[in-house]
A and B are shown apart, each in its own frame.
Chain A
Amino acid sequence: GAVVSQHPSRVICKSGTSVKIECRSLDFQATTMFWYRQFPKKSLMLMATSNEGSKATYEQGVEKDKFLINHASLTLSTLTVTSAHPEDSSFYICSAQRDGNEKLFFGSGTQLSVL
């Protein structure tokens, strides 16, 4: 089956630093990827839709300058949390759409802890 790799799985950083999270589709090309955020014991909240070769589409209430998304190739999307603060601590998970396939393929998630 299709595999989506997300890296790193866990990151701890100091307040004020930036953190980059990578999402790769390993065996298929993904023109669209999605980034979700999940708080403890809560559901997934869609943050943005990442489109290859164009700007990401952000959901209402998500700060574009805080969460930078780059989808430079058909197999890679990155989410950069800029100037991270403790309130940005969360579980971030990406998913990729494979053409002609109904189900989304998810990465394994990244647990971000900002001290």
Chain B
Amino acid sequence: AQKITQTQPGMFVQEKEAVTLDCTYDTSDQSYGLFWYKQPSSGEMIFLIYQGSYDEQNATEGRYSLNFQKARKSANLVISASQLGDSAMYLCAMREGYQGAQKLVFGQGTRLTINP
């Protein structure tokens, strides 16, 4: 069974608009962590944001925010005021279990294209 699901293979958004990238997860663990990474065409992995399963507030990092809905097991990434440089592959990932184990499982990714 897929543990991390990103249902949007590709998205096209107009510059300056907000965009929501979907991510749902499946786990029976009580303790887990959710991550979003950005991967430009160069291949490097850029950490964007992290949400712990016990965090009560949604994580925010600048223009990035994570809409964490625990009951629905979703962890959508919201990018406000999109920029041309935001065009990239976006990967949602989950770490199961205790914090010390950083084995991540990635979703299929969403390729985001920002149009001028």
The chain A residues found within 8 Å of chain B, CB to CB, are 32, 34, 36, 38, 41-46, 49, 91, 93, 95, 97, 102-106, 108-109, 111
Interface pair A106/B45, CB less than 8 Å apart:
yes
Partner-binding segment picked from B63-71, B77-85, B98-106: B98-106
Interface pair A95/B50, CB less than 8 Å apart:
no
Interface pair B106/A43, CB less than 8 Å apart:
yes
Which chain B positions have C-beta within 8 A of A108? 42-44
Which chain B residue has the least Cβ–Cβ distance from A105?
B47
Interface pair B106/A102, CB less than 8 Å apart:
no
Closest CB pairs A-B (n = 7): A106-B45, A109-B43, A97-B102, A44-B106, A43-B106, A43-B109, A103-B47
Interface pair A43/B108, CB less than 8 Å apart:
yes
Report 6 cross-chain contacts, Cβ distance below 8 Å, ordered by A residue: A34-B104, A43-B91, A95-B102, A102-B102, A103-B50, A104-B35
Which chain A residue has the least Cβ–Cβ distance from B105?
A46
Interface pair B50/A102, CB less than 8 Å apart:
yes
Q: How large is the interface on B (under 10, 10 to 19, 20 to 34, 35 or more residues)?
A: 20 to 34
Which chain A positions have C-beta within 8 A of B43? 38, 91, 93, 108-109, 111
Interface pair A44/B91, CB less than 8 Å apart:
yes
Which chain B residue has the least Cβ–Cβ distance from A44?
B106
Which chain B positions have C-beta within 8 A of A36? 106
Within the assembled complex, what's the spacing in Å between the Cα atoms of A111 and B42? 10
Interface pair B44/A109, CB less than 8 Å apart:
yes
